[in-house]
Amino acid sequence: MRIAIRHQLSVTPPAGTANAVLQLLLTPQGGPTQSIESWSVEMAGIGNAGRFIDAYGNIAHLVNQSRPEGELVVTVKGVIETTDRHGVLGRIGGEPVPALYRRVTPLTKAPVALYGKYRNAKETRLDILHGLMARVGEALGVDAPGQSQMQADGGQSQGQGGVAKPLPPASDYAHSFVGGARALDIPARYVTGYLMGAEGGVAAFHAWAEAFDDGLGWIGFDPRLQICPTDRHVRLAAGLDGLSTQPLRLVPAEDGVRELEVSVAAA
């Protein structure tokens, strides 16, 4: 599928900042599930940015702005051609060894209730991972049938029969899944990207997970949607958790990142 993306974020350095330094993880790479037709990152100072590959194999930018005034706006846009491979990415060159993704971080500590029943499971790793994805869905909640209107922050509004509590953001699902897999000694990583909503659905900046199988390599799992990533998922960056994959990081920072706009549509 050909998908056009436009994403705009902003951060505001504290008044009087002498030098604002930003790290961007907003550049997708081509791979088995996607090829990049065009991509651009625009912001003041990007022309002078340092470009490097981070520890997890992502393309990163190091941007600085001396004496910034007001908010700094980043606009990314591009066109990506995606392929549905039922979530299977396989092995990708230049990535760190999968074992790295067994490291537990503060954000990826999962309760035993989530993964305990698979500790001595006889099933294949693939079956265990699908089971784990279902467990995460049970624990955090899933969309009622016919309701899949995600909001940009991963939450959801349910219209039927009064106002229900919104579901947690997609990042919670991804962290739970990753934490559960790691507790079972399965390498798992956190993935950021874009999700094109189903018909009528709202586009979003999204998060899901990937786990490693010795036979198939890396396989994607989207526990928020309870599916393996499809050609509606555009993969942006991967890492240990949501912290190491933040799309935009700023020092010195006062407030968080503001999402100004995200649109993901068939091109």
Partner 1 sequence: MAETAPFDEMYNADGSVREPYRALNAWLEEQPDKALTLMQSDAEAIFRKLGITFAVYGSEEGTEKVIPFDVIPRIIAAQEWRKLSKGIEQRVKALNAFLYDIYHRQEILKAGRIPEKLILQNAAFAPEMMGLEPAKGVYAHIIGVDIVRVGPDEYYVLEDNLRTPSGVSYMLEDREAMMQLAPDLFHRCKVAPVETYPENLRRTLESVAPAGAGQSPNIAVLTPGIYNSAYFEHSFLADQMGAQLCEGPDLFVDGGKVYMRTTTGPERVDVIYRRIDDDYLDPLTFRPDSMLGVPGLFNAYRAGNVTLVNAPGTGIADDKAVYTYVPEIVEFYLGEKALLSNVPTYNCTDEEQRNWVLANIADLVVKEVHGSGGYGMMVGPTSTKAMHAEFRRKIEARPDNYIVQPTLALSTCPTYVNAGVAPRHVDLRPYVLVGDRVRITPGGLTRVALKKGSLVVNSSQGGGTKDTWVLED
Of the candidates 173, 223, 231, 237, the one whose C-alpha atom is nearest the C-alpha of residue 198 is 231
Residue 21 or 36 having the CB closest to partner 1? 21
Positions in the binding site for partner 1 (CB under 8 A): 19, 21, 23, 48-57, 60, 62, 64, 66, 94, 96-97, 99-100, 102-104, 240, 244, 249, 251-253
CB of 19 to partner 1, least distance (A): 5
The minimum distance between CB 219 and partner 1, in angstroms, equals: 21
Q: What share of the chain is helix, strand, coil (3-state, %, to 5)?
A: 20, 40, 45
CB of 244 to partner 1, least distance (A): 8
Residue 266 near residue 3 (C-beta atoms within 8 A): yes
**Residue closer to partner 1 (CB basis): 74 or 264:** 74
Minimum Å distance from CB 120 to partner 1?
A: 19
**Which residue's CB is nearer to partner 1, number 60 or number 186?**
60
What token pair was written down for 14? 């504290």
Comparing CB distances to partner 1, the nearer of 127 and 254 is 254
Contact 140, 172 (CB under 8 A): yes
DSSP assignments along 80-128, one per residue: EEE---TTEEE--TTPPPGGGGG---GGG---HHHHGGGTT--S-HHHH
